A and B are shown apart, each in its own frame.
Chain A
């Protein structure tokens, strides 16, 4: 009796732990045996089921993410969506190399202690005034994250911000000033991450989707991406500074004591060391190669070349790279890209895109902006639930098939995936500042709605007026 009770309790515990997995498996099996809808092929319907399984597994996380990546490969073959050799091919491409190289370079850069240099530079630039510090944090986070990636900037800038906030705490609480400083880094790095393909994994994923999914294959160089996206970054960082100060009125106007303490903390660093200079030099080489050689070698090969240089010069050890790089995410993005390619090949992406757009068909002729608005809405919604990179990996093939110019639609998806302002889970910086307990969930909403409206309006204006103006120059199509 005791044994039976214990067994039942263990089974119940397992069931409640894995309830999402069970629900997903049951729904997947049910859908598999249902008659498939009109307008979609048998393989397309199975790809649709697989996509829904993958999205649900990523959101609910009942199994580790690398396991989801493995499941994609297994089910693509088991569902007869594609033969094993083709599945294997779609798992490795230049974008996956790019994500891998960027993450490895981030480990190398972060380990050099450039954060203290950065702190010193910011202090000298901004002085003690709070509004200047906020402007400085937002702009530097945005500009840096455009090139070295959001994840690297977060690791370099957050210690500076958190240290300032801690040194500033006096007898009276300063929740608004705390939120202002921390959000300027979090939102600044998010806004900046759309500026270049190296800003985040999602941009690289979109480049791959353009190449592999669109008819004729849209290609965009590193520099062309900058021309397309950078106005959004510049407007974004300035308006972020303004909107954050509107949302959080700081309790203090200057941070003399905190700045003084920060200076003492970073003063011991002395002059630039050889390693620090070499770190910057290698990144500069990689950056110039991205701009000038990407068509010849591909962004990914250059990125892993950079990672090689960091290891070859001894700036970082393989052990460290191996320990601090999130290999599971690389594997997941590889799987997601493979699924995206199959969604295109089997017509699933087109079917979903058309089904979504058909809901708005009566208004489509008057309002050509509808696919873009729908794109922004879906991407923003999912990035607040699932994180920005995952959103592009999952939604990319669908938004590219929703009508509208694929180049514009892809850019819209990549940019609006950075609009995860409402939740702590969209970006690493948001997660850290939330888990520190220094900002509340309501602070995300307080600042987030302003940021979302501003970003959406800016993006629509850029789509309507700026992109058509420069399309000849970028030779986008």
Chain B
């Protein structure tokens, strides 16, 4: 599998994103690419900025994105990834509108470092298409609209790392419904549960007290699967507004895992969807499985 971790600075939040990303990647034995997406200069001054960056590089003052990537790379090394390779700016290559560092001697998992400049959504989309990633791990955007767009347009699973505290023992809230992505969400949750040694709560929510056949079947299938894998879990069937119930049940100490909605794309763009609203409103990490 191939995971993409998007970070924007060297702050504690980014460190947490890297931490959780590495841990999950280990669970899946996945290749890991760290991507920095920086702000692009206005096109009118871009040439001047690039000229200045060239002289700055001669003074060993590199693009701020490279400094973030170096910081991230060192953290990966601490965690046991890419132990035999070094961060070397001479190994940068420019390809397909991005800058990539060639890390020839990575062992265990393949590690990639990528620098991009431009609009977050657009660049993330290009990187995911180019690298064919299975999961994108990133911080939760401040603007809800961006969360909506990322969830809808990035055609892969998205893990929004929100309010993550590495010292807490997280549990997993597995949101089960009749959508096609639910089965993959269940499978993902078992792998992540093993990695975090976390208990799973399988939760199905109906707007009314009546649970349709699709919901009941999905809930039963999830229970059977979790039992078969042998992971400790409890399951709940609750009524109410699904998004509110998910957010309240999760609180701050759960990782929410749910399938991406496959409804009408135009309606999703305008009104959002259950997973999108959950990602926007939850106070904990949320994984939307594609």
Contact = CB atoms under 8 A, between A and B. Distances in A.
Given A9-B265, A428-B41, A326 B55 contact: no
Nearest to B59: A159
Contact of B44 (A386, A429, A437): A386
B47 A325 contact: yes
Contacts of A326: 46-48, 50
Contacts of B119: 17
Interface in B189-238: none
B43 A435 contact: no
Interface string A99-125: 000010011001001010000000000
Given A9-B153, A9-B265, A110 B44 contact: no
B55 A115 contact: yes
A166 B266 CA distance: 50
Contacts of A58: 44
Interface in A304-323: none
A431 B40 CA distance: 9
A428 B52 contact: yes
B44 A387 contact: yes
Given A159-B56, A429-B52, A432-B52, A13 B125 contact: yes
A411 to B, nearest CB: 22
A380 B170 CA distance: 52
Top 7 closest A-B pairs, CB basis? A326-B47, A428-B48, A151-B48, A159-B59, A8-B265, A155-B52, A387-B44
A427 B52 CA distance: 12
Contacts of A158: 52, 55-56
B95 interface: no
Contact of B51 (A65, A151, A332, A390): A151
A329 B42 CA distance: 11
Contact of B43 (A8, A64, A154): A64
Given A12-B265, A163-B61, A432 B51 contact: no
Interface string B257-287: 0000010111001000000000000000000
A450 B271 CA distance: 45
Give the secondary structure class of B's interface: helix
Interface in A72-123: 103, 106-107, 110, 113, 115
B79 interface: no
B47 A435 contact: no
A342 to B, nearest CB: 21
Given A5-B265, A12-B269, A436-B64, A328 B43 contact: yes
Contacts of B266: 8, 12
Contacts of A427: 45
B53 interface: yes
Interface residues of B, number: 35
B153 A13 contact: yes
A162 interface: yes
B178 to A, nearest CB: 16
B72 to A, nearest CB: 15
A428 B41 CA distance: 8
A425 interface: yes
B27 interface: no
A389 interface: yes
A156 interface: yes
A151 B41 CA distance: 14
B265 A61 contact: no
A8 B266 CA distance: 7
B204 to A, nearest CB: 24
A16 interface: yes
Contacts of A295: none
16 contacts: A5-B264, A13-B125, A17-B119, A58-B44, A65-B44, A151-B51, A155-B55, A158-B56, A159-B55, A159-B61, A324-B47, A329-B43, A431-B41, A431-B42, A431-B45, A432-B56
Interface residues of A, number: 47
Contact of B55 (A9, A61, A156, A329): A156
Contacts of B264: 5, 8
Nearest to A427: B45
Given A5-B265, A163-B61, A329 B44 contact: yes
B21 to A, nearest CB: 22
Given A12-B269, A150-B48, A326-B46, 20 more contacts: A8-B266, A9-B155, A9-B265, A12-B152, A16-B149, A17-B119, A58-B44, A65-B44, A106-B51, A110-B54, A115-B55, A115-B58, A155-B51, A158-B55, A163-B61, A329-B47, A427-B45, A431-B41, A435-B38, A437-B64
Interface string A1-17: 00001001100110011
Contact of B122 (A17, A265, A387): A17
B16 interface: no
B44 A432 contact: no
Contacts of B110: none
Nearest to B47: A326
A194 to B, nearest CB: 16
Interface in A371-395: 386-387, 389-390
A429 B41 CA distance: 11
Contacts of B125: 13
Nearest to A149: B48
B39 interface: yes
B52 A154 contact: yes
A432 B53 contact: yes
Contact of A324 (B45, B51, B59, B153): B51
Nearest to A152: B51
Contacts of A155: 48, 51-52, 54-55
Contacts of B89: none
Interface in A427-469: 427-429, 431-432, 435-437
A265 B52 CA distance: 19
Contacts of B58: 113, 115, 159
B59 A162 contact: yes
